[in-house]
């Protein structure tokens, strides 16, 4: 018998506060019912965690309490995974902490990878004709465009013109090729995993509208960041999202998405928050993410992942929060 938490969406602020207060307490009531009826240990069968802004500190280090919480999940035989917009190369420094568990969701679900063997459970490329068209039109909209090719160690990024904006540190850490040389071979040889658009969100949607008019909607649009008026938008293959990949992962593991605890913070986590049975937000998350959460934990800089996991397992090793 499966027990899942019914999550009410788009509640007024007062009702949302009540829902957050009761969220994990409801889990424990369901656990008790399941225990009585059929000996089921926990309603949660999988924990999926976003990286940046959630599992990682702002300085990209990992809080020790988060690593300890992963060990607690192992002790309770609850598998865990990540769901990140990062590529394999970018996420590699952190993947050792997720080895030999559930497959990993990378690049917002364009790539689902077995951590040990690197076998691809899912790989969805962006159509080269769509990529070529968008790249040819970005100058008309005064946008920066990054071409991402390859999936594993062969991954590389190309930038269409010099860029000194707020996302440059991110691009540098992801292996950006600063030569600015973009030959047509980039679109004809090898797979394109995604295009990244940087700049005005309004102009991005104008360009996307032009693209849809020609090619239809055979691609995905994922807004990942917005900072100081600059948007970080990703164009990816069809049906790429954290929600779609969560369904794919659950099918592979033969579990229900209603038994997944998902922890996130940003725009690209919104659809997964709507999908997972137990959506959890860290305290630094966007308000839109918190609105979908059954529980709001502490911030990413305060071990918010550990706090949520220990709350779920009832393993209190630090002071409870009034949330």
The values of phi and psi at residue 168, to 5°, are: -60, -45
- Between these two residues, 65 and 16, which has the higher pLDDT value? 65
Q: How far is CA 275 from CA 171, 244, 265, in A?
A: 30, 9, 15
**Weakest mean pLDDT among 15-29, 164-178, 203-217, 284-298:** 15-29
Residue bearing the bigger pLDDT, 162 or 60: 60
Task: Look over the chain and give the mean of its residue pLDDT values, rounded to a whole number.
Answer: 84
Q: In the prediction, which pLDDT does 114 show?
A: 93
Coil, strand, or helix at residue 266?
coil
pLDDT of residue 39 exceeding 70: no
Q: pTM for the whole thing? A: 0.83
pLDDT class of 31 with cuts at 50, 70, 90? very low
Closest CA to 234 of 196, 207, 208: 196
Check residue 181 and give its pLDDT: 56
CB 281 within 8 A of CB 37: no
Between 147-161, 174-188, 242-256, the lowest mean confidence (pLDDT) is in 174-188
Q: What is the mean pLDDT of residues 182-203?
A: 86
Q: Give which of 126, 71, 130 is closest to 101, Cα–Cα.
A: 71
Q: What are the CA-CA distances from residue 282 to residues 25, 118, 122, 170, 279 (Å)?
A: 17, 30, 28, 22, 10
Q: Can you tell me the mean pLDDT for 130-134? A: 95
The torsion region of residue 40 among left (phi > 0), alpha (psi -120 to 50) and beta comes to beta
Range among 19-23, 75-79, 112-116, 284-288 rated most confident: 284-288
Residue 99 Cα distances to 71, 237, 261, 288, angstroms: 12, 27, 19, 31
Q: What is the pLDDT of residue 179?
A: 52
Residue with tokens 């924990």: 47
Section 119-124 average pLDDT? 95
**pLDDT score for 160:** 83
Check whether 29 has a pLDDT greater than 70. no
Tokens describing residue 148? 């991402």
> Which pLDDT does position 89 carry in this prediction?
87
Token pair belonging to 171: 């691009």
Q: What's the CA gap between 157 and 182, in Å, rounded?
A: 10
Per-residue pLDDT, 280: 96
The tally of CA atoms less than 13 A away on the side-chain side of residue 322 is 0
Tell me if 310 sits within 8 A of 72, measured CB to CB: yes
**73, two tokens:** 């999940």
Determine the pLDDT at residue 279.
Answer: 95
DSSP label at residue 51:
I
Give the chain's end-to-end CA distance (angstroms, integer): 30
DSSP 152: S
Of residues 138 and 32, the one with the higher pLDDT is 138
Whether the per-residue pLDDT at 63 is higher than 60: the answer is yes
Across the strands, what pairs with 234?
196, 222
How far apart CA 191 and CA 238 sit, in angstroms, is: 14
User: Is the predicted pLDDT of residue 5 greater than 60, yes or no?
Assistant: no
- For Cα atoms 176, 98, 320, give the angle at the middle one, nearest 5 degrees: 110
Pairing of strands 176-177, 144-149: unpaired
What pLDDT score was predicted for residue 23? 53
Task: Extract the runs of DSSP E, i.e. beta strands, from 207-311.
Answer: 220-227, 230-236, 260-264, 278-281, 295-296
What is the torsion angle, in degrees rounded to the nearest 10, for the CA atoms of residue 199, residue 205, residue 211 and residue 213?
-160
């Amino acid at each position: 018998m499966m027990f899942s938490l019914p999550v009410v969406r788009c509640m007024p602020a007062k009702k949302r506060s009540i829902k957050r207060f009761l969220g994990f307490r409801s889990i424990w009531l369901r656990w008790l019912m399941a225990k009585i009826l059929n000996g089921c240990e926990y309603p949660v069968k999988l924990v999926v965690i976003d990286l940046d802004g959630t599992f990682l500190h702002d300085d990209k280090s990992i809080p020790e309490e988060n690593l300890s919480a992963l060990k607690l999940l192992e002790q309770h035989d609850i598998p865990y995974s990540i769901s990140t917009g990062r590529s394999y190369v970018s996420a590699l420094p952190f993947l050792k902490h997720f080895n030999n568990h559930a497959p990993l969701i990378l690049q917002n679900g364009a790539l689902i990878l077995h951590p040990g063997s690197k076998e691809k459970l899912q790989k969805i490329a962006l159509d080269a004709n769509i990529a070529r068209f968008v790249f040819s039109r970005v100058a008309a909209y005064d946008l920066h465009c990054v071409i991402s090719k390859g999936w594993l160690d062969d991954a590389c990024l190309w930038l269409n013109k010099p860029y000194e904006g707020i996302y440059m540190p991110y691009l540098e850490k992801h292996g950006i090729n600063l030569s600015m040389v973009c030959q047509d071979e980039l679109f004809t040889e090898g797979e394109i995993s995604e295009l990244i658009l940087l700049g005005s969100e309004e102009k991005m949607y104008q360009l996307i509208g032009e693209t849809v008019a020609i090619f239809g909607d055979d691609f995905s649009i994922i807004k990942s960041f917005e900072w100081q008026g600059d948007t970080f938008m990703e164009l990816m293959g069809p049906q790429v999202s954290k929600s779609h990949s969560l369904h794919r992962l659950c099918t592979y593991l033969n579990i229900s998405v209603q038994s997944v605890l998902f922890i996130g913070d940003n725009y690209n986590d919104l659809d997964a928050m709507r999908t997972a049975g137990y959506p959890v937000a860290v305290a630094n998350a966007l308000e839109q993410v918190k609105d979908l959460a059954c529980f709001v934990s502490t911030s990413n800089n305060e071990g918010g992942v550990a706090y949520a996991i220990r709350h779920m397992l009832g393993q209190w090793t630090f002071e409870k929060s009034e949330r």
